[in-house]
Amino acid sequence: MNPIQAGSFLTLHYRLSGPDGADIVNTFNDKPATLSLGAGQLSPAIEKRLVGLPEGARERFELAPGEAFGDRNPELLQWVKLSLLRQLGDPDEAYNVGDVVQFPGPDGQGGYAGVVREMGDSALLFDFNHPLAGQPVSFEVHVIGVL
């Protein structure tokens, strides 16, 4: 059997759940995922746990707070002026606490998301941390194929 190694192309079912046990991602009830190890589709800590697993393996890993998606970074809480939001997006958009807003990347390619945490008169406080930063997570996997 082929064990998983750096650069392996994988077909697998997996479930990622947060500290409350609720599923964040779950492919077990649908089509399996296909990905290339090392391409950034999973966090490095999760990929590290997959290395060495053979085809057919079924495992569950508990990752400590911050291990899977890093620690919370207070510098990633930033105020963004409403005038800039109107310039970059829909000028009539109404924002609420908890909304996820997509921002363009600085090079015009890709992008990133922020969650509205507070609303001020002329700006909104966004949290650009990964939603699971600083949180423990569980990762369950069934390795179907390794190339």
In angstroms, what CA-CA distances link 10 with 33, 61, 137? 8, 18, 21
Cα–Cα distance for residue pair 22/38, rounded to 1 Å: 26
Task: Please tell me the predicted confidence (pLDDT) of residue 106.
Answer: 79
Cα–Cα distance measured from residue 60 to residue 58, given in angstroms and rounded to the nearest whole number: 7
Which tokens go with 9? 């192309």
Average pLDDT of every residue of the chain: 94
Asked whether residue 138 carries a pLDDT value surpassing 90, the answer given is: yes
**Does the structure show a pLDDT above 90 at 21?**
yes
Q: What global pTM score does this model have?
A: 0.77
**Close Cβ partners of 81 (under 8 Å, ≥ 6 residues apart):** 122, 123
In this structure, the strands spanning 100-104 and 111-119 are antiparallel
Q: Is the pLDDT of residue 31 over 90?
A: yes
User: What are the tens digits of pLDDT across the range 72-90?
Assistant: 999 999 999 999 999 888 8
Cβ neighbours of residue 7 under 8 Å, at least 6 residues apart? 36, 37, 38
64: pLDDT strictly greater than 90: yes
pLDDT reading at 107 higher than 80: no
